[in-house]
Amino acid sequence: MSWDQVWIDVNIATMDPEISAPYGAITDAAIAIKEGKIAWMGPRSELPEFDVLSTPVYRGKDGWLTPGLIDAHTHLVFAGNRANEFELRLQGASYEEIARAGGGIISTVKACREASEAELFELGRQRLNALAKEGVTTVEIKSGYGLDTETELKLLRVARELGKHHHVDVKITFLGAHAIPPEYKDNSDAYVDLVLDEMLPAVIQEGLADAVDVFCENIAFSLAQTERVLSAAKQAGLDIKLHAEQLSNLGGSAMAAKLGAKSVDHIEYLDEAGVKALSESGTCATLLPGAFYFLRETQMPPIDMLRQYEVPMVLASDYNPGSSPLCSSLLMLNMGCTLFRLTPEEALAGMTRNAAKALGVEASVGVLKVGMQADFCLWDITTPAALAYSYGVDVCKEVLKNGNLVHQ
Ligand code: NIG
Ligand code: FE
């Protein structure tokens, strides 16, 4: 056998559903890499002979390998911060009240319109580094803090540049319909026209997005407006996803599912009809415990129903300055379990296998098996449940991206 590198002295949480053990685990395993892909994987006792003189062999000190983590929902390109609103909320104001008074998303929009591409890139790079340090190898980044053509394109270009200059793979989502900008305060339909007639064609022309998202909510876009945007995106061949059922139940998830959305995200207020629609279309349910925690929400997403209908559950950070200023994927594994009562295995699937599905990259990443990209992490833990159990001590020892050691 001729391989580029071999890892031994490891246990592997493959997350491959075809391996029946919990976490798809193979204990006392070995894994071989060739040309950035997994070339062999299995119990060490079955490792075929290979040229030990010419092949680097790494020892994992009996730690665990998992697929590289995937954070499938972030807004990590933004300027400014909203610490002042955090203070206001602690004095009694609600997220909705602040948004209606021109704060919230709109205050971040002001900061983004003023920021240069270089400033936004540097801020994004630091945040991407923070996620990468914790084992994230694929991330989704949304625009949505521009709300005019020029700034939306600027944010998307920054996301694209981050992907070019960082080992983390970046999937980009155009979220022009994130909030109604002040200029269109009393005419949201005209803003939707702008998104459809000017922004979306420009985004497509420059090849700046893989997917399109909308915030479907009372304080943002109606069901009808959302459907217009998602239908146009679908027609243009882009993936679609949705911020839905976060503060109320408008039926956005069911509508998006019928259009074939990859995921619907937040979904605290999703009802059974909505869950059924997701299961029929194979749409993922993205749970965002950071926003639930930070906004001190009390309405739980319908986890048991999602399980019952076998809807793939995704966990993501939703990292953004307003509702989830928590730039940590590992923290979400913990919160997914403590706040939403996921099992540690469900939580890890939500940041690996199911997250890959939500981003349409499941053919190459998200589970460890032969032929998949060699994106994986080595953790100094004794059981995979430890990843969700404890938080704060650095247990990420190595990260491989396409077979290259990249851990900082
Ligand atoms: O995912 N829900 C809408 N959008 C973001 C919040 C953005 C913000 O408050 O800046 C979210 O929670
Ligand atoms: Fe979000």
Binding residues for Zn(2+): 73, 75, 243, 318
Which domain CATH number covers 225? Answer: 3.20.20.140
Rounded percentage of the chain residues whose pLDDT exceeds 70: 100
Ligand 1 atom nearest to CA at 246: 2
Strand 136-142 to 169-177 pairing: parallel
What end-to-end distance do the CA atoms of the chain give, in Å?
31
Q: Are residues 151 and 231 in the same domain?
A: yes
Q: From the CB of 154, is ligand 1 less than 6 Å away?
A: no
Contact of 170 with 131, CB cutoff 8 Å: no
d(CA 372, CA 40): 10
**Which among 178, 323, 326 is the best mutation to test ligand 1's pocket, defined by most ligand atoms within 8 Å of the CB?**
323
Same domain, 144 and 223: yes
ipTM of the complex model? 0.95
Total domains in the fold of the chain: 2
Average pLDDT value over all residues in the chain: 97
- Of the ligands numbered here, which is closest to the C-alpha atom of 74? 2
Candidate from 81, 215, 287 with most ligand 1 atoms within 8 A of CB, to mutate: 215
DSSP structure string for 251-287: SHHHHHHHTT-SEEEE-TT--HHHHHHHHHHT-EEEE
286 pocket-lining for ligand 1 (C-beta < 6 Å): no
User: Same domain for 344 and 250?
Assistant: yes
pLDDT in tens, 349-365: 999 999 999 999 999 99
Answer yes or no: do 244 and 270 share one domain: yes
| Strands (E) located in 270-407 | 284-287, 313-315, 376-379, 396-401, 404-405
Average pLDDT over residues 345-352: 99
pLDDT of residue 54: 95
Beta carbons within 10 angstroms of residue 212's beta carbon: 28
Ligand 1 contacts CB of residue 5 (under 6 A): no
Four-CA torsion 104, 242, 262, 303, nearest 10 degrees:
80
Shared-domain flag, residues 57 and 201: no
End residue of a domain, out of 358, 379, 394: 358
Mapped onto helix, strand or coil, the DSSP state of residue 71 is strand
CA of 47 to the centre of ligand 2 (A): 44
274 lines ligand 1 (CB under 6 A): no
Annotated binding residues for N-formimidoyl-L-glutamate: 145, 320, 322
Question: What's the CA gap between 135 and 125, in Å, rounded?
Answer: 15
Same domain, yes or no, for 248 and 377?
no
pLDDT in tens, 312-321: 999 999 999 9
Q: How confident is the model at residue 174 (pLDDT cuts 50, 70, 90)?
A: very high
Do 106 and 250 sit in the same domain of this protein?
yes
Q: Is the CB of 214 under 6 A from ligand 1?
A: no
Question: Do 313 and 252 share a structural domain?
Answer: yes
pLDDT at residue 114 tops 90:
yes
Query: What's residue 408's pLDDT?
Result: 67
- Token pair listed for 311: 């809807």
Tokens of 263: 């995921």
Q: Is the pLDDT of residue 219 over 70?
A: yes
Structure confidence at residue 102 as a pLDDT band (50, 70, 90): confident
Under DSSP, the state recorded for 51 is -
| Helix H or strand E segment including 7 | strand 5-13
What type of residue sits at position 287?
A: L
- Kindly report the pTM of this predicted structure: 0.98
Q: Are 264 and 357 in contact (CB under 8 A)?
A: no
Q: Do residues 289 and 314 make contact, with C-beta atoms less than 8 angstroms apart? A: no
Nearest to 351 by CA among 46, 86, 140: 140
Q: Is the CB of 317 under 6 A from ligand 1?
A: no
> Which range of residues forms the domain containing residue 149?
69-358
- Are residues 194 and 74 both part of a single domain? yes
Same-domain status, 180 and 284: yes
CATH number at residue 371: 2.30.40.10
- CA–CA separation, 207 and 225 (whole Å): 24
pLDDT in tens, 198-213: 999 999 999 999 999 9
Q: Do residue 38 and residue 158 come from a single domain?
A: no
User: In terms of DSSP H, where are the helices of 177-312?
Assistant: 188-194, 200-205, 223-235, 252-258, 272-281, 289-294, 303-308
State whether the beta carbon of 246 lies less than 6 angstroms from ligand 1. Answer: yes
- Are 202 and 151 in contact by the 8 Å Cβ rule? The answer is no
Q: Report the pLDDT averaged over residues 124-140.
A: 98
Ligand 2 center to residue 369 CA distance, Å?
31
* Any ligand 1 atom below 6 A from CB of 354: no
Which amino acid appears at position 190 of this protein?
A
The answer to whether residues 133 and 86 belong to one domain is yes
AA identity, residue 240: I
Instruction: Give the residue, out of 320, 324, 326, with the most ligand 1 atoms within 8 A of its beta carbon, to mutate for a pocket test.
Output: 320
What is the model's pLDDT at position 95?
82
Tokens of 73: 């929902």
